[in-house]
């Protein structure tokens, strides 16, 4: 293995870790309800859609993990 391949491998590792960290932080922010203090029924419906968005984000993160392993 030459130096260029090693540098590319290490760079990919750091980029993957950074991407995972960002995806986890984003899905955690979207799924947390105590940040906005939602209590009204209209806000609860909106919160359900946020939870669905967070689920989609987690699913996308799992899919990207599977894709990057190939």
- Tell me: the pLDDT tens digits for 4-34? 999 999 999 999 999 888 888 877 776 665 5
Bigger pLDDT: 15 or 56?
15
Neighbours of 19 (CB within 10 A): 14
Count of alpha carbons within 13 angstroms of residue 21, beta-carbon side: 6
More confident residue, 44 or 31: 31
Contacts of residue 38, defined as CB under 8 A and 6 or more positions apart, other chains included, come to 44, 46, 47
Which pair of tokens denotes residue 47? 């919160």
Residue 44, pLDDT above cutoff 80 = no
Phi, psi of 38 (to 5 degrees): -75, 130
């Amino acid at each position: 293995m030459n130096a260029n391949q090693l540098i590319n491998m290490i760079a990919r590792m750091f980029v993957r870790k950074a991407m995972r960290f960002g995806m986890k932080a984003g899905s955690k922010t979207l799924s947390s309800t105590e940040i906005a203090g939602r209590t009204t029924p209209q806000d609860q419906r909106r919160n359900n859609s946020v939870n669905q968005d967070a689920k989609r984000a987690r699913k996308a993160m799992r899919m990207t993990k599977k894709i990057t392993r190939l």
